[in-house]
Chain A
């Protein structure tokens, strides 16, 4: 019985972690869907998002200890961070990727790696290399239900992620812009002929992806703290999640994120290996998925036409 509860606990932690991965994975998947390139700088955007959120929050809060104001300023900080990252994402796209749209496939990839270096080292330079704690905007005493403990920040993570995903899904499915995005990811030249402003769609994709990464970054910083290179590993994992779900597929990114979070959390105790090997589990899953179904769980099977 105890072990069952323990595994349920791992599972719950996995879902929380997975929700964060899913948020970040959405940015990777949307950009890949439209531009067919891996935006290696995405992980560092989440780091910038976490820093922006942290600074805005502490500035707004000041000395106040009012519980309502704490929560309000947290959400304001989140919105500010989303807006900032959205603008940053669009700016990076204009400067570093747009000139390379017709170059060979490696050029934007390396350019993205360059941007990633600039962002993460710039942050380390400006904010120092020590990690900072993101203060909880509420009392984070775990709530224990039938032996399972769940902390308020975990609840917050799951709730915020679900809201974001619902908003994104309805945006992509209901609005004109969302339709334009889907069309562009299916066939860029044709959608251009149909009068879709592809540049605008791409800018928008980067804006949305970066805003989601900002949320992911803030939520991740409760568990991982805030530091300049926090985006590298978290970004890589989120990317793995996007591939597991089927890169280019929005539902796939959500599913992949959750699956990866659960596997990472449950996998190590289940296999009886040290939890330091959780990265190995994540990447091994990636390779197995790629070998069994290269297009991911929800990906379409695209064969090369001869």
Chain B
């Protein structure tokens, strides 16, 4: 089942075609890999889907709805969460507060009350709401085994932990689809191993994962479906085995033999 799909999505920066007529599909409940050499347009594609960038043309369908050109915050509320290639944590806030920000629009939004009434309620019951949020955030931290670092400032965490915290923050919003942009970049093998465990847990939790990654071992091990981009175009899609033996993919990564 496709939960998210792009139709002929393109993004042109000046004269450079960063993403060229890409039809990218995300299958529900799976770990979807997005790979390609540097500069293939992977992050640009992510940015367009998550609303951080506007597509030049094309369409993005999510859960049967057209989300093309919606602002990022609306898209995120529809159930698409993401992490960033260059970690973007709230550095001056504590670990647990970072996760609380991820919960921001989940708690205190009561479907039976108007938005104004909610805002007023939240204003007068701020500390109660904060305690509620705190408790939920701690649950998510325990999912990652980070309770002991809850009061630490995000900027003081080691690199690998920062990446995990970013995933925790994105996950706290309980998205339908979670986009991870190079989650293993800069991690040592042990940390990567730990990350693989986390992605597996997320998948078992029923959340669809899309991931950009350069670590082939990681990709081949945990992805159920892989899409390959090269120079802004989709050159292949399929299971890890199919991708591994696809001559086009090998060419994109290693260059043509007669070069």
Interface residues of A (CB under 8 A from B): 305-306
For A306, list chain B residues within 8 Å (CB). Answer: 43, 47, 52-53, 84
Q: For A305, list chain B residues within 8 Å (CB).
A: 86
CB distance from A293 to the nearest CB of B (A): 16
Write the chain B residue with the least CB distance to A104: B92
Q: Cα distance A305–B86 when bound, in Å?
A: 9
CA distance A184 to B53 in the complex (A): 30
A-B contact count (CB 8 A): 6
A interface: dominant SS:
loop
Give the complex CA separation of A115 and B42 in angstroms.
Answer: 48
Query: CB within 8 Å of A: which of B39-61?
Result: 43, 47, 52-53
CB of A105 to closest CB in B, whole Å: 14
For the complex of A and B, the 5 pairs showing the least CB-CB separation, nearest first, are A306-B52, A306-B47, A306-B84, A305-B86, A306-B53
In the assembled complex, 5 residue pairs joining A and B whose CB atoms fall closer than 8 Å, in A order, are A306-B43, A306-B47, A306-B52, A306-B53, A306-B84
CB neighbours (8 Å) of B47 from chain A are: 306
Which residues in A have their C-beta under 8 angstroms from that of B53? 306
User: Of all chain A residues, which has the CB nearest B47?
Assistant: A306
How many Å lie between the Cα of A154 and that of B86 in the bound state? 53
B108: min CB distance to chain A, Å = 28
Please name the residue on chain B nearest to A301 by beta carbon. B14
- Distance in Å from the Cβ of B185 to the closest Cβ of chain A? 15
State A221–B67 Cα separation when bound (angstroms): 60
CB distance from A107 to the nearest CB of B (A): 15
* Smallest CB gap from B84: residue in A: A306
| Shortest beta-carbon distance from B142 to chain A in Å | 30
Give CA–CA (A305, B47) in the complex, Å. Answer: 10
Instruction: Give CA–CA (A306, B52) in the complex, Å.
Output: 8
Chain A residue with minimal CB distance to B72?
A306
In the assembled complex, the Cα of A305 lies from the Cα of B52 at a distance in Å of: 10
- Distance (whole angstroms) from the CB of B183 to the closest CB of chain A: 16
List residues of chain A with CB within 8 A of the CB of B84: 306
Cβ–Cβ < 8 Å partners of B86 in chain A: 305
Closest partner residue, chain B, to A305 (CB atom) = B86
- Bitwise, B61-103 to A at CB < 8 A (1) or not (0) is 0000000000000000000000010100000000000000000
Minimal beta-carbon separation of B208 from chain A (angstroms): 21
| Minimum distance in angstroms from B85 CB to a CB of chain A | 8
Residue of A nearest to B14 (CB): A301
What residues on A are CB-neighbors of B52 within 8 Å?
A: 306
A306 and B45 CA atoms in complex are apart in Å by: 12
Closest chain A residue, CB of each to CB of B85: A306
Assembled-state Cα–Cα distance A126/B43 (Å) = 60
CB distance from A287 to the nearest CB of B (A): 24
